[in-house]
């Protein structure tokens, strides 16, 4: 997988259009603000199920990325398991890259 998506996630983070952390991501999904959810493939089965169930119910696209360190590196932080993109433009661009 190419890593161009990481720079888009970085841009979204700097524009304050991305949120990390399982509980915050779930909150944004429920509020209808999340346009795309990224989950690390090495997330626990429980976390993966919880996020995918919420995304399915609220009709939010969800994509899996390689691992938590790659997701963290994309936003300039340590390991991150989940991330929600709150902007439609960033979400559309990321969906074209990750599909």
Domains, the chain, in order of start with CATH, read 4-98 (3.30.1330.30)
The pLDDT value given to residue 99: 86
Average pLDDT of the segment spanning 25-51: 96
pTM of the model: 0.94
Distance CA 41, CA 2 (A): 16
- How many angstroms separate the Cα of 8 from the Cα of each of 12, 58, 59, 77? 6, 24, 22, 15
Task: Name residues whose C-beta falls within 8 Å of residue 97's C-beta, 6 or more positions apart in sequence.
Answer: 2, 4, 5, 8
On the question of pLDDT at 62 being above 90, the answer is yes
Phi, psi of 37 (to 5 degrees): -120, 130
On the question of pLDDT at 3 being above 90, the answer is no
Q: What is the pLDDT of residues 84-97, one digit of tens each?
A: 999 999 999 999 99
> Which burial class, exposed, middle or buried, applies to 63 when counting CB atoms under 10 A from its CB (0-12, 13-18, 19+)?
middle
Per-chain mean pLDDT for the chain: 94
Percent of the chain with pLDDT over 70: 98
The pLDDT value given to residue 2: 61
């Amino acid at each position: 997988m190419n890593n161009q998506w990481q720079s888009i996630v970085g841009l979204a983070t700097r524009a304050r259009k991305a949120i990390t952390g399982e509980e915050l991501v779930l909150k944004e999904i429920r509020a209808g603000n999340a346009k795309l959810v990224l989950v690390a493939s090495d997330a626990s089965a429980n976390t993966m199920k919880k996020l995918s169930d919420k995304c399915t119910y609220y009709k939010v696209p969800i994509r899996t990325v390689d691992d938590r360190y790659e997701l963290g590196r994309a936003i300039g932080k340590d390991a991150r398991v989940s991330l929600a993109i709150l902007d439609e433009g960033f979400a559309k661009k990321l969906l074209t890259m990750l599909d």
